[in-house]
Structures are given as structure tokens and as C-alpha cells.
Amino acid sequence: MPVELNPANNQNGSFNWRTSYAIGGSPGTDDLPGLSDEAKEIKVPERFTLGQNYPNPVSDLTYIDYMIPDEAQVQLSVYNIVGQHVITLVNKRQLAGQYQVTWDGVDQNNNKVTDGVYIYRIAIRTRDESKVITRKMMILK
């Protein structure tokens, strides 16, 4: 399964792939956790959500899912426990939908982060509202 829901069709390299949510895989199709094929096509989120990263604790890679019901400016960043910025994973305008980001535990300088508790924060801004959601994750290598 491609790492991005709609990759730029670069099928080479293991960094472009992740395990499928579907039993037996999903070659050639996008898949989302817990949704039937019909729901994937018509499901527009009703509210902003930020899922708990998984796996948690993190040893290598972790996945962060979020949903936005309207087109919005989205910024998803990771901070250490004392509030210092570690890395920004998303900073762009996105259409309504469900998204997943993979984080490999490196900071903005591509250095592996140390074990400990980290905060990830999503800030979403639409024409009509702004919302910020935070969650905790633990890194144990």
C-alpha cells in the first residue's frame, strides 16, 4: 500500500510503501482503516479529528491519522515534552478528507530523537473557524 493516499505514482523504493489495512493487501487501490469500499468513496468527515498515533510507544515508524471536514490550512507538528519544536510533518492547504502521515522519529535536521514523551499538535484553519488538537506519544527504541 502506498504511504500517501494518492502518491505521485513513484512506485520504487520501500519508503513509498506501508502495510495495507485490508487483509490480503490492496494493490492498485487506496485503503483507509476501518472503512468499507463504499464508505471510502462517499465519506466526508463531519468534524476535525486527530487520531492517536500507532504504534505507541514508537520504536521505528509511527502513523498519525486525521480528518478534516472542510478545505483547510493544516499544520501538524511534533514537540518534545518541554515544548521545543522537533519537526513539522504537514504544513499545507488540504481538501476535506481523511489523511495519514508517517513519522520516522527524526527531527527537522534529520537526527533521530531520543527516547521520551512527545506531543504532536494539529492546527487547522478554515475560512470560518480554527481548531487545535494535541496528543501524546512515547518514543522507546
The structure's pTM equals 0.69
pLDDT values of the chain reduced to their tens digit, one per residue, 141 residues = 444 454 455 566 655 566 555 555 656 565 555 544 544 454 677 889 999 999 999 998 999 999 999 999 999 999 999 999 999 999 999 999 999 999 999 999 999 999 999 999 999 999 888 999 999 999 997
Are 48 and 59 in the same domain? yes
User: Cβ-count burial of 124 within 10 angstroms (0-12 exposed, 13-18 middle, 19+ buried)?
Assistant: buried
> Do residues 115 and 101 both lie within one domain?
yes
Domain hosting 126: range is: 44-139
User: What's the number of domains the chain is made of?
Assistant: 2
Is residue 53 domain-shared with residue 11, that is, in the same domain?
no
Based on the domain organization, do 107 and 96 belong to the same domain? yes
Asked whether residue 104 falls in the same domain as residue 70, the answer is yes
